[in-house]
Amino acid sequence: MTSVHSTTQLPLNLEWVRATFPSVGKEWVFLDNAGGSQIAQPVIERLNQYLLTSNVQLGASYAVSQLASQRLAQANQAAAMFINAADPAEVVMGPSTSLLLRILASCLSQTFKSGDEVIVTNCDHEANITPWLELQRQGIKVKFWLLRPETLALDLVDLENLLSDKTRLVALTHASNVLGTINPIREIADLVHRSDALLCVDGVGYAPHRLIDVQAMDVDFYVFSYYKVYGPHHALLYGKHQHLLPLPSFNHSFIGKADLPYKLQPGGANYELSYSTLGILDYLEQLVPDDNALTQRDRLSYAFDSISAYEEMLSDRLLSFLLSQPQVKVIGETRCDRQIRVPTVAFTVTDVDSATVPPRLEPYHIGIRSGDFYAKRLIQDLGLAAQNGVVRVSLVHYNTLEECDRLIEQLEPLLSA
């Protein structure tokens, strides 16, 4: 079968890309995409299609209900393909990453015992820390894998020193929503599994920029939010079948352990939002030239290769400017290399409260953000809490170099004042 790499890589058709996002290219420049991306037109069309032609309860015998059931099954199958899960039953839909991780922690903890250990990091969004910390109430010990302050990176040697024969789970982020750093998940998975522990990865900061392959990474659990991947306010939790099956049901008392993924979806997943996620694939596949030899996964790989190559240019434009400013400190990886970071860039300005920077750009209709971004422990450990955290610029592929230049033009006088 022809590999995606046999197809000549073409640059993104940026004019078409921006036209496919109805809110982009109007009054505002959206540079706060790690907080939530704009929505693609095919997602809106799928959402409308469901609500206008199949907005009924599932499982009845009449035709419209059968159509609704088929559409939800199609969405689940497509989600499994999107992340390369082995089985659609391994895909749990829900309203948010935060809630799905809480459900997972609640169910998984019932298989743990007092004295077991869980490892979390100090650089994660709190969504992948708090649910595990709460297990301390049942006698589970929680250890912190800390960033090395001199590199602002997680070191596998430090993880190896934390692992023990009591470790049951390690939880960390795939790409930091502050630092932008991509963690080497497969290497981490191999190390964790050698200790017979499980790995839970928060992919929220990674999923908008790279194609996810849960089998290649050999993760046990993986979660991300669709509203940061050009879709609706909806989320996905993946779990290996052999780990999800023994979990107790979080649903009604008569929903059994074998009823996956429903047992982890109390009240059921939102129908129209689940179906609308098909629009994300509709959009991504349109970024790829016609080539009947390519599989759907090949086409998605091609799309994300194009996205990441273009985003590397955006990162380079922004980072080059910030690094040229003596008052600015980039917090995290300073190289634009797409192999090691996503285009989420955080910085501070000497003797400047970070919270004062975004409002000064708003008259120019440039939307960025400051704060801790729910990575409170990271901001505190870096000594940045008193400065109100960092200023963050988070780019995606529908942004342009011209928008970066517009930001730079307005930032420069603020930084030299």
Mean pLDDT of 309-324: 98
Output the pLDDT for position 1: 31
Q: What are the pLDDT digits (tens) for 189-242?
A: 999 999 999 999 999 999 999 999 999 999 999 999 999 999 999 999 999 999
Q: Where in the chain is the domain with CATH 3.90.1150.10?
A: 4-39+296-415
User: What confidence tier does 329 reach under pLDDT thresholds 50, 70, 90?
Assistant: very high
Could you give the percent of the chain with pLDDT greater than 70?
98
Q: Does domain 4-39+296-415 match CATH 3.20.20.70?
A: no
Check whether 3 has a pLDDT greater than 70: no
Poorest-pLDDT segment among 57-71, 286-300, 394-408: 286-300
Cβ neighbourhood burial of 59 (10 Å; 0-12, 13-18, 19+): exposed
**For strand 167-173 and strand 198-202, is the pairing parallel, antiparallel, or unpaired?**
parallel
Check whether 294 has a pLDDT greater than 60: yes
Q: What is the spatial distance between Cα 367 and Cα 31, in angstroms, rounded to a whole number?
A: 6
Output the pLDDT for position 9: 66
Total Cβ atoms within 10 A of residue 254: 7
Output the pLDDT for position 368: 98
Output the pLDDT for position 292: 77
User: What confidence tier does 8 reach under pLDDT thresholds 50, 70, 90?
Assistant: low
Q: Does domain 45-281 match CATH 3.40.640.10?
A: yes
Q: Apex CA 169: angle with CA 144 and CA 265, to 5°?
A: 115
Q: Where in the chain is the domain with CATH 3.40.640.10?
A: 45-281
Specify the residue for token string 């907080």: 35
Mean pLDDT of 17-29: 97
Q: What is the spatial distance between Cα 138 and Cα 333, in angstroms, rounded to a whole number?
A: 38
Mean pLDDT of 279-285: 97
Mean pLDDT of 322-346: 97
358 and 370 Cβ atoms separated by less than 8 Å:
yes
34 and 344 Cβ atoms separated by less than 8 Å:
yes
- Which among 58, 344, 366, 129 is positioned nearest to 228, based on CA atoms? 344
Check whether 98 has a pLDDT greater than 80: yes
Could you give the percent of the chain with pLDDT greater than 90?
95
- Written as six digits, the tokens of 204 are 């929220």
Cβ partners under 8 Å of residue 242, min gap 6: none
230 and 280 Cβ atoms separated by less than 8 Å:
yes
